[in-house]
Structure 1
């Protein structure tokens, strides 16, 4: 494959992978209450996020932020308070929804307060400049290395999605089976009750000599 074509393919795959693995959001913070962001991430994935508090400048208003990041099983991965900027990083040990919650923890609530969250996972967390210097690679070789990592990332995502699809299909099949058995049992109960009612009515009419 010619070098320009290889570079174009690498750029396309890196863009596709980065669009999945990187997310920057703005959260408008209420004066009371909590704002949370969650993302479903598979196991053994590096997560890196930077957050910063933004607010309308006022001489007597200097709000601060508290943040807590938890795993799908409720374990605290990062917790900080009384800050305006911060960062958290971890490697996931299980798959599921990872939750980051923010709230204003200072007495001065301010106005127009928002949080900028730059959330990166997987390939988006790599420092390619540092990797290039460490491994002494550049140019086409570096782009091919990026291409290799991008392909691996996309393949891992596809495998994860396929596994989740299989799990959901299994749950759906089990649920459908239980609903079918419940329907059969309900129909059986209705038939039994109808037979008992008919038997009771026949006995009642015989006692009254109506039949």
Structure 2
């Protein structure tokens, strides 16, 4: 069996970081109420951090941690530049489950702080905060943004295609309605003229009959 010394393990870890410039690591911690917890990390200029978090509260009835609604609970994320007199560069308030992204503008020590926010009885309950960090270069972030933009562009193109299809269907319906309207107006016009012709014929017949009867009565010396 081949064993590995501590130096070999460190060398393997460094080699892994060189091969995979983007690091992803996650952990969780417990806190009481709105306790503020901070983590320090040395970052170089252009390094980005993308963090995902999830906060759950302890349910004494079930004796386990449960998710909570955004109306009752939230989380505040602060990122400060320790090297620049603790200058705050990020201040974000979000729901119990969310993410945040930060790009280091200058090289130096940074402090990442998370603080659960709640009101009422939840402000004193035990909480569990799960964190997952992805640390990489600014180019990696630009690549992700590009992929996101391409995905959004594909969705926009798909929606535009659907809108165009709907417009074509609406135009087809309008054309059919116009044809039906023209046909109905033509039929109504013919029916009206047919009724007028019938009335004229009937009136002419009545006048002719009245004249004929009048002349007949005159000849018979009835009138």
TM-score by length of 1: 0.45
TM-score by length of 2: 0.43
Structure with greater strand percent? 2
